[in-house]
């Protein structure tokens, strides 16, 4: 009931990402000023050039680890941060760039860059939790601004953030959406994907592609087996699972399993 007196010192750090999750905070127009008032923003380059040195009470980390420099920097951020929260699919599962984990990075570098010798990059894109201990993960591509506000409110109040972990289907049904897979045969990852987006894609008549990553305790194979039996080509299932959360273990393993069958 009585919140801790001091405003938590907050830092926002970015790794390999599109900045969209940081923008979610800035996009919270109606509540932005109030949210900012709850915390002491010490490091947030997307919003302000003012920089306050660590340590920080709370670090929000966006993006995945893709370079040797990233590997070092995340260790330093962990040392400087009391409570470390990863925000978004890049930070929690490696992001869309984790597709490189199935490819040859050198081929990409030679194709894209005129002087590849200046590029220093890891062959993988991995989640923050693969490198340091993470206190809380906020899913999504991008994250849901209301969930982010809840996280900040919870931190200020000194409690654990409350984000729901059920499947996208529950949100879909509660909005009155008709199940797109059952009614049209279009594949949808909603049954195995965690809620958070408000079931945006099915609401606009397309299947879920798993932005919020796997829900808890999923049986991905049961869904993919059924979709394939109902006519979805295995070659279509693999890219569906390898999307923004391709690095999340259940999606990664199931996509590998299907690929090994084809």
* Site residues for other proteins per CB under 8 A: 1-2, 31, 34-35, 38, 149, 153, 157-160, 162, 164-167, 169-170, 173-184, 188, 190-192, 205, 215-219, 222-223, 225-226, 230
CA atoms within 13 A of residue 16's CA, in its CB half-sphere? 25
Q: How far apart are the first and last CA of the chain?
A: 57
Task: Give whichever of 122 and 179 is closer to other proteins, judged by the CB atom.
Answer: 179
Q: How far is the CB of 185 from other proteins (least distance, A)?
A: 8
Q: How far is the CB of 159 from other proteins (least distance, A)?
A: 6
Q: How far is the CB of 179 from other proteins (least distance, A)?
A: 6
Distances 215 to 129, 138, 212 between C-alpha atoms, Å: 17, 13, 8
Q: How far is the CB of 21 from other proteins (least distance, A)?
A: 20
Query: Are the CB atoms for 211 and 245 separated by under 8 Å?
Result: yes
Task: Give whichever of 36 and 98 is closer to other proteins, judged by the CB atom.
Answer: 36
Rounded to the nearest angstrom, the gap between the alpha carbon of residue 2 and the centroid of all alpha carbons in its chain is 32
Task: Give whichever of 10 and 218 is closer to other proteins, judged by the CB atom.
Answer: 218
Task: Give whichever of 66 and 193 is closer to other proteins, judged by the CB atom.
Answer: 193
42, containing H or E segment: strand 40-44
Task: Give whichever of 85 and 220 is closer to other proteins, judged by the CB atom.
Answer: 220
Q: How far is the CB of 58 from other proteins (least distance, A)?
A: 17
Q: In what order do the strands lie in the sheet with 40-44?
A: 40-44, 9-14, 56-62, 81-87, 136-138
Task: Give whichever of 17 and 163 is closer to other proteins, judged by the CB atom.
Answer: 163
Rounded to whole angstroms, how far apart are CA atoms 235 and 119?
33
Q: How far is the CB of 213 from other proteins (least distance, A)?
A: 15
* Burial class (CB within 10 angstroms; exposed 0-12, middle 13-18, buried 19+) of 63: buried
């Amino acid at each position: 009931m009585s919140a801790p007196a001091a405003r938590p010192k907050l830092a926002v750090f970015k790794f390999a990402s599109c900045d969209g999750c940081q923008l979610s905070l800035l996009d919270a127009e109606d509540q932005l000023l109030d949210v900012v008032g709850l915390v002491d923003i010490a490091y947030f380059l997307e919003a302000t050039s003012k920089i306050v040195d660590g340590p920080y009470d709370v670090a929000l980390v966006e993006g995945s680890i893709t370079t040797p420099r990233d590997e070092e920097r995340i260790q330093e951020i962990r040392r400087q941060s009391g409570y470390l929260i990863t925000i978004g699919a890049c930070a929690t599962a490696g992001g869309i760039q984790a597709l490189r984990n199935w490819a040859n990075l050198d081929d990409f570098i030679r194709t894209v860059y005129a002087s590849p010798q200046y590029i220093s990059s890891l062959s993988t894109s991995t989640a923050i939790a693969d490198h340091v201990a993470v206190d809380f993960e906020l899913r999504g591509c991008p994250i849901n601004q209301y969930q982010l506000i809840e996280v900040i409110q919870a931190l200020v109040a000194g409690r654990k953030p409350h984000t729901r972990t059920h499947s996208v289907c529950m949100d879909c049904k509660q909005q009155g959406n008709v199940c797109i897979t059952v009614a049209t045969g279009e594949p949808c990852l909603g049954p195995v994907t965690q809620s958070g987006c408000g079931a945006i894609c099915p609401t606009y008549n397309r299947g879920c592609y798993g932005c919020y990553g796997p829900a808890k305790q999923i049986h991905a194979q049961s869904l993919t087996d059924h979709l394939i039996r109902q006519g979805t080509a295995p070659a279509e299932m693999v890219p569906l699972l390898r999307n923004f959360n391709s690095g999340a273990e259940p999606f990664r393993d199931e996509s590998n399993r299907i690929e090994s069958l084809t």
